Amino acid sequence: MSERAVHIPDESKGAAPARGRLKGRRILIVGGGQMDIGEADTPIGNGRAMSLLFAREGASVAIADRDEKAAAATVSLIEKENGQAFAITADVTKEDDVVRMVDEAVKGLGDLDGLVLNVGIGAGGPWLEGTSAEMWDRVFAVNIKSHMLTVKAALPKLAEGSSVVFISSIAGMTAGSRLPAYDASKAGIAGLCRHVAFEGARRCIRANVVAPGLMDTSIGRLASRGRPNRASTPVPLGRQGTGWETAYATLFLLSEESAYITGQTIAVDGGLTGL
């Protein structure tokens, strides 16, 4: 039997030409750095791919991350392509940091009409037996409390017609990660998103969720180290996804192309949840 053909377009590789889809937009990306996992040639992560893509498409971007060097490295990549970006260092589990982060983004960008929340951890032992109360609280502080604090601070300052995108995971839609705190916190993001969409609707502020599946990113590879069989999960489209594919789905939801979409979840998973 011949080997199955796998289609990987230029968009999936971050090699497609820019089309000006976010021209003039001002976007804060929370979690726009990238974790160093000790590999020489790690694939690009969701946060860095989004940051680069949005700048290529004409947006001015504020890159927030708790790791100052990671945020600065993303800004450097954008500036090499003549894009507009600056870095903000913040720990979004701390409310004072969140308020400062949003204020710095508004001041640096001149206004704010796009917000992406790309922060999350998967921690603790497997199954309920391996889940401690302390680790449960830590995961929820990072994965959902930080999102609440950020949208609480940002919503009053977002321009009319803005878009908010939460980066979640298909773990919030279907079981399988074996990490109860992770699954539960990711499911909670959908509920928070629906509230933000409801509260923001009077000013035409939209909120949606992008839920990546098995992605070949730095975080994805780190997860596969802990659970090696993750990498061999059969995906209907025949491969793992890329950070660029998360970025393009998010780009659509930030752009005016999705002006009548709010309170929804888009799975970027090669068919895992649907098929």
Catalytic sites, residue numbers: 182
At a CB cut-off of 8 Å and minimum separation 6, what does 196 contact? 151, 155, 164, 205, 207
Q: Which of 14, 71, 47, 46 is nearest to 216 (CA)?
A: 46
CA–CA separation, 141 and 39 (whole Å): 28
Token look-up 């020489």 returns: 40
DSSP structure string for 51-98? HHHHHHTT-EEEEEES-HHHHHHHHHHHHHTT-EEEEEE--TTSHHHH
φ, ψ for residue 240, nearest 5 deg: -80, 160
At a CB cut-off of 8 Å and minimum separation 6, what does 228 contact? none
DSSP structure string for 202-269? GGT-EEEEEEE-SB-SHHHHHHHHHSGGGGG---TTSS-B-HHHHHHHHHHHHSGGGTT--S-EEEES
- Residue 71 has which token pair? 């945020």
Residue type, 237: L
- Residue 233 has which token pair? 């999960």
CA–CA separation, 239 and 108 (whole Å): 39
